[in-house]
């Protein structure tokens, strides 16, 4: 049995759904299909999920959500008409959406989660209708009925271990199951969504539950690339990755797969295959527990901007028991989570996402660190990008850090900070955002381009 997930771009039009149908029916082992909400049809288009959020915010502000509702219904109607589906499916979707829009707003987060989830939920109903019309034994499966029970965390739900005891029964279903991604139900019966792009997580949970032989994740690229293709022309495709490598790359900016999606698959030891809906013959990228490190120390380079650093210096900091705990406690008071904390004997730097700070909070945090921790120096550096160089092979190769640092020096990129993960599978460089692209290009040339041949 295989669990297959299709992303929003794979399900954005009737033509795309025809491709999905052909992919699913070409392999009888593809038994559980996880669907996203309709994605963008072109660069100027809007995702259905964004339209649903906008409708909810307008409704809560006392403004009419109707323009956004009309757009959402229009998206489903366009797909249904492309596929010549019966008009009853659109009536079903419309009734469901209106009931959610007109629902209770007493808990705003619950209201928005319920609305957001309708994108995937109603699309699963439409996809199931299409499969049935084509003569395939398929059925829509509601996550609550299936037993996908999650924590009460809006926009960040986590599957409860007890859910697997019920979800395993999906193995016995004779029909092809069309399952909406992105959300589950609390034990009290309320809808809670995963973080954005959480349909990847749903697919991984179901693969774990039914002990699938493979979890296929279909998107709009042939494979995972070794670097951002907008930074480097024709980057190398990665044929095989370990779970750990993909986790590091996803966290650092690779958007092909949600960074939480691998955890259930890892726990069950299920390989994941990234495939292209528009080119299903392409082999894609396989993510496995272990692989042969035959392609050098580095498998991929990921990057992302929007970070800042809080630098704290204090003489004999390393001998002060509880300093780190008290520093993190101050950040916790402001609801700030940290990403990295490189340190020295007299100083520590905390890397955070810049959108967690505003100017007023920034001044309060600096004052509080100085007054409560008696710090000698505190400053915040903005507009940083983090670049992650990832590869299991780094553990067995000498000089990888030196090569990376030299490549950045040759490109005249100043390294603001260096941090290596304890697993030795990744190393992180912080650079100014304006240098991000040039830095990534330099690192790619160092580790992936063939060395120049000198002639006399």
Annotate 95-126 with three-state secondary structure: HHHHHHHCCCCCCHHHHHHHHHHHHHHHHHHH
Does residue 456 form part of some domain?
A: no
Per-residue pLDDT tens listing for the chain (456 residues): 999 999 999 999 999 999 999 999 999 999 999 999 999 999 899 999 999 999 999 999 999 999 999 999 999 999 999 999 999 999 999 999 999 999 999 999 999 999 999 999 999 999 999 999 999 999 999 999 999 999 999 999 999 999 999 999 999 999 999 999 999 999 999 999 998 778 899 999 999 999 999 999 999 889 889 998 888 988 899 899 988 888 888 877 777 777 788 889 989 999 999 999 999 999 999 999 888 766 678 999 999 899 999 999 999 998 999 999 999 999 999 999 998 888 889 999 999 999 998 888 999 999 999 999 999 999 999 999 999 999 888 877 788 889 999 999 999 999 998 887 666 788 889 999 999 999 999 999 999 886 433 333
Tell me, yes or no, whether 294 lies in a domain: no
**Domain count along the chain:** 2
Instruction: Count other C-beta atoms under 10 Å from residue 442's C-beta.
Output: 22
Pairing of strands 272-276, 285-288: antiparallel
Supply the CATH number for residue 369's domain: 3.30.2130.10
Indicate the residue among 241, 259, 288 that finishes a domain: 288
Residue 99 to residue 88: CA distance in whole angstroms: 17
Binding-site residue positions: 219-220
Q: Say if residue 306 is in the same domain as residue 372.
A: yes
Residues within the annotated binding site for ATP? 219-220
Give me the domain span that covers residue 171. Answer: 2-288
Q: Is 295 inside a domain boundary?
A: no
CATH number (domain holding residue 176): 3.40.1160.10
Pair (256, 193) in one structural domain = yes
Structure-block tokens of residue 29: 């082992």
Residues 140 and 221 in one domain: yes
One domain, residues 197 and 146 = yes
> Does 234 lie in the same domain as 151?
yes
Domain boundary among 288, 308, 332: 288
In this structure, the answer to whether residues 119 and 216 fall within a common structural domain is yes
Question: 30 and 116: one domain?
Answer: yes
One domain for residues 284 and 308: no
Domain boundary among 255, 288, 321: 288
The CB-side HSE value for 444 (13 A sphere, CA atoms) comes to 23
Whether residue 129 is contained in a domain is answered as: yes
Report the predicted TM-score, pTM, of the whole model to 2 decimal places.
0.85
Domain co-membership, 116 together with 182: yes
**Does a structural domain hold residue 137?**
yes
């Amino acid at each position: 049995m295989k669990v297959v997930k299709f992303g929003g771009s794979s399900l954005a039009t009737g033509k795309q759904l025809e491709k999905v149908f052909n992919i699913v029916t070409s392999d009888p082992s593809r038994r559980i299909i996880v669907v996203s909400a309709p994605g963008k049809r072109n660069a100027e288009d809007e995702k259905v999920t964004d339209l649903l959020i906008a409708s909810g915010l307008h409704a809560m502000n006392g403004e009419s959500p109707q323009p956004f509702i009309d757009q959402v219904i229009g998206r489903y109607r366009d797909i249904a008409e492309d596929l010549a589906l019966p008009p009853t499916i659109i009536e079903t979707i419309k009734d469901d959406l209106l009931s959610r829009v007109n629902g209770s707003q007493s808990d705003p987060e619950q209201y928005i989660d319920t609305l957001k989830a309708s994108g995937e939920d109603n699309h699963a109903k439409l996809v199931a209708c299409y499969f049935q019309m084509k003569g395939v034994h398929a059925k829509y499966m509601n996550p609550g009925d299936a037993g996908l029970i999650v924590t009460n965390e809006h926009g960040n739900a986590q599957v409860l271990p007890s859910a697997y005891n019920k979800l395993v029964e999906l193995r016995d279903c004779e029909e092809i199951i069309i399952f909406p991604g992105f959300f589950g139900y609390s034990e009290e019966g309320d809808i809670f969504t995963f973080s954005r792009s959480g349909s990847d997580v749903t697919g991984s949970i179901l693969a774990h539950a039914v002990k699938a032989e493979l979890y296929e994740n279909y998107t709009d690229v042939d494979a995972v690339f070794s670097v951002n293709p907008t930074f480097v022309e024709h980057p190398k495709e990665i044929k095989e990755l370990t779970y750990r490598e993909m986790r590091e790359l996803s966290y650092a900016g690779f958007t092909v797969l949600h960074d939480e999606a691998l955890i259930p698959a890892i726990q069950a030891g299920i390989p994941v295959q990234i495939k292209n809906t528009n080119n299903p013959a392409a082999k894609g990228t396989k993510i496995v527990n272990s692989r042969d490190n035959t392609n050098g120390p580095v498998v991929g380079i990921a990057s992302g901007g929007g970070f800042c650093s809080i630098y704290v210096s204090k003489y004999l900091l390393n001998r002060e028991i509880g300093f780190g705990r008290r520093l993190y406690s101050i950040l916790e008071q402001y609801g700030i989570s940290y990403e990295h904390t490189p340190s020295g004997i007299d100083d520590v730097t905390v890397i955070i996402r810049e959108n967690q700070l505003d100017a007023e909070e920034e001044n309060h945090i600096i004052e509080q660190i100085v007054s409560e921790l008696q710090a000698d120096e505190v400053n915040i550096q903005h507009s940083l990008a983090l670049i992650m160089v990832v590869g299991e092979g780094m553990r067995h190769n000498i000089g990888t850090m030196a090569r990376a640092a030299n490549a950045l020096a040759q490109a005249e990129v100043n390294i603001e900070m260096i941090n290596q993960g304890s697993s030795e599978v990744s190393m992180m460089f912080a650079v100014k955002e304006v240098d991000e692209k040039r830095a990534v290009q330099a690192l790619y040339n160092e580790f992936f381009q063939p060395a120049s041949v000198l002639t006399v």
